Amino acid sequence: MDVKPKLSLVIPVFNEVANLFVLYDRLGAVLKPLGVSYEIIFVDDGSTDNSWAFISELAKNDQQVRALSFSRNFGHMLALTAGLDAAHGEAVITLDADLQHPPELIPELVRAWQNGAEIVNSVRQDTVGAGIFKKVAADFFYWLMARLTKINLPANAADYRLLDRKVVETLKEMKERSRFLRGLISWVGYKQEHIPYQAAARFSGRTKYSFSKMLAFAVDGLASFSPFPLRLATYLGLLGSFSSFLYIIYAICVHLFTSQTIPGWTSVLVAVLFLGGVQLIFLGVIGEYLSRVFDEVKARPLYIVSRKIGL
């Protein structure tokens, strides 16, 4: 099919074989009545189950299904990136494969786009079945991002959104490795709209975001958009220097005007250990930023595609 479709759907897939059929079915039910041409691009992020075989089977029977497969697991953000790179549509919708992003919202996204919005974000109201821990952690993260960065992330933004072709082209220009997409989306500007939706529980399987992946994601988001952790070292250093300066004056006065000496040992040891700890922490913080610079300088490809269908 050489005619450019109007709508591209980009779906990252990492071991989601049990969700794919229902997803495909519900997408079809929503997309066909819309009456616009579309393509569905599955990005297989190094799945080890039968996801790829299943997608190939779908593609055999449906011209509108395209797919690419990574040579290994590169992560959700890079899967989305590859999908955006491959998409042909005038508008691109990204959604998860686990049906937490209900396909039934697509007509609303498209309508907002047709009414002039260039980015249509979805904002989840409530995730059925999400643990309290995940909710609290997410709230804290969005609070922190709002305080520390200049970008304006809507709380509970999901990676379920529609992007106009213009926006997709802009994102393609941004080749940075740390792809905290919701941050980049907020950063690019454009006419944005937000549509609330009720997030469903995962249809099948477990979340692919372990605690450590979530933490890495959060650190990535923060480090890509805020130099504040680095600046914090300066502030703490200033505070430390200033208070020790006051203490020096106090110590000299005590020496000059009284016959006492200031007792030491414990306070010395505490101060040394505390400062040593703080210095190590900030060496770590510098390391975080430095390793990101190192990654950028190496300039390796963002992802490696091993197989393609219809692209």
Residues that bind Mg ion (CB under 5 A): 96, 98, 100
14 binds ligand UDP (CB under 6 A): yes
Q: Which of 50, 56, 73, 156 binds ligand UDP (CB under 6 A)?
A: 73
- When asked if residue 208 is in the footprint of ligand UDP (CB under 6 A), the reply is yes
Minimum distance from residue 247 beta carbon to ligand UDP (Å): 49
Question: Does 156 contact ligand UDP by CB under 6 A?
Answer: no
The span of 202-210, 235-243, 245-253, 276-284 binding ligand UDP (CB under 6 A) equals: 202-210
The residue (of 98 and 118) whose beta carbon lies closer to ligand UDP is 98
When asked if residue 217 is in the footprint of ligand UDP (CB under 6 A), the reply is no
Handedness of CA 104, 108, 113, 118 (dihedral sign): negative
In this chain, which stretch among 8-16, 185-193, 233-241, 252-260 interacts with ligand UDP, using CB under 6 A?
8-16
* Binding test (CB under 6 A) with ligand UDP, winner from 5, 8, 9, 16: 16
Asked if 207 touches ligand UDP (CB under 6 A), the answer is yes
Binding site for ligand UDP (CB under 6 A): 12-14, 16, 45, 73, 75-76, 79, 96-98, 100, 207-209
